[in-house]
Every structure is written in C-alpha cells, then in structure tokens.
Chains A and B, each alone.
Chain A
Amino acid sequence: SQQGEEDPQALSIQEGENATMNCSYKTSINNLQWYRQNSGRGLVHLILIRSNEREKHSGRLRVTLDTSKKSSSLLITASRAADTASYFCATGTGGSYIPTFGRGTSLIVHP
C-alpha cells in the first residue's frame, strides 16, 4: 500500500524558477522523508522531517509539514537544470521505520 501521494505528477519549469511539490498521506506518521531519483538510478535521501517539526531547510531545499492536513511540501528554490529528476516522499508510520513511498513527481528544469 502506498501511503504518500505526490502532486503534481509532472512539473516543467525554467531554470531559476522555484519548484514546489506536495505530498499527502492518510495515516499518522512518525516522520516524512523526501528522496530524489535521477533517471535509471537509485534514490538519494534529501531531507527528513519529524512529526513534531513544521519546517526544515537544507541548502536550496525547504520542506514543510502540516500534520493537521496530513500534507508536506518540498520547495526547491532557484532551480537548476541539474535538479531534473523524480522526487518521492516517504513516510514512516506507527512503530515501523520502513519507508513507504508515493508515486513521485517528475521535475524537468529547462536551461
């Protein structure tokens, strides 16, 4: 079963613009994570936000978490062509640390 659902499924922007992706989930979580996947490669962990946190930053990445709405957003500021990839949210729920993934957002950044 897939816990998180990303929105939009695909996003196409110009270099320098900001990219925002959203993730909605169904049940209470311990944490929510964002991963990046370049085409044909493995996933790379970007950021983890715990259920008692509301916002986290890492470089050009900003993640917010709204547990009342069961949603999270990933903002990439000043995007670059190298940011072109698929982005996945994953949730940890209950006593489980096993990440459950959504279907991902495909981001294309045009130079």
Chain B
Amino acid sequence: DGGITQSPKYLFRKEGQNVTLSCEQNLNHDAMYWYRQDPGQGLRLIYYSQIVNDFQKGDIAEGYSVSREKKESFPLTVTSAQKNPTAFYLCASSRASLNTEAFFGQGTRLTVV
C-alpha cells in the first residue's frame, strides 16, 4: 500500500526545545518537500530535496533543518531558533520531473506549550 506517512500526528514542544517530525514515503519518489500551513496563509515551502544527500532552502527555512540520508526519509527538525513554530506541517513527495503531482502525508500539528 504505497503512500507517505508523517508522524506523530500531534506534537507538543516546550520553549527552547528542538523537535523532529518524521516523514517516510514508499512511492520511490526522488523529490520530497516540507510545507508549513498557518490559517489564512496557505502552504509555504520550508525545505525540499531532489536527491539523497542534497536539499535546498525554501521560502521560510530559518529555524528549521532537514536531512536526506535515505530516499524514503526526509525528517524535519524544528529548532529553538524558530520563534513561532506552532503550525500544521505537511510533508509531500513527487517524481523529480515537470508536470507531476505531489502526494501528501496527513500532517503533523505542532504546538508550543
């Protein structure tokens, strides 16, 4: 059953903590993405990766870090430098080619407590 899995579904972070959001896909996609969604803001691109061991900053990368050690996995770390981390985080993957659709995970809702 192919797809993209995000975990956990809900995550709570204390001030000053780093937290890592998991994203795994078994679609054999080269490209993976992290988006942040805030109410009324739509989706904003945090980081993307087109190939293993390579990733690029998106529009709002400050306070976030990623790694791409395996094709299937693209974890996102929300660091203490991210001052307003409460949001809904969406991971997606696609083939690394034009005119292709993206497949999304079910999202992780991060709340600072």
A binding-site residues for B, Cβ under 8 Å: 1-2, 30-31, 33, 35, 40-45, 48, 50, 88, 90, 92, 95, 97-104
Contacts and interface: CB of A to CB of B under 8 A. Distances in A.
A108 B32 CA distance: 31
Contact of A103 (B31, B40, B94): B40
Interface in B68-113: 88, 90, 92, 94-107, 109
B98 A92 contact: yes
A40 B109 contact: yes
B45 A43 contact: no
B17 to A, nearest CB: 24
Contacts of B59: 1
A99 B107 contact: no
Q: Which 5 A-B pairs have the closest CB atoms?
A: A42-B104, A103-B42, A101-B43, A45-B101, A43-B104
Given A45-B103, A48-B99, A103-B40, 15 more contacts: A2-B42, A30-B99, A42-B105, A42-B106, A42-B107, A43-B43, A43-B104, A44-B104, A45-B102, A48-B100, A92-B99, A97-B31, A97-B96, A97-B100, A103-B41
A50 B98 CA distance: 10
A50 B104 contact: no
Contacts of B42: 2, 88, 101-104
B33 interface: yes
B35 interface: yes
B64 interface: no
Nearest to A9: B40
A80 B6 CA distance: 29
A50 B80 CA distance: 41
Given A88-B43, A104-B42, A97 B94 contact: yes
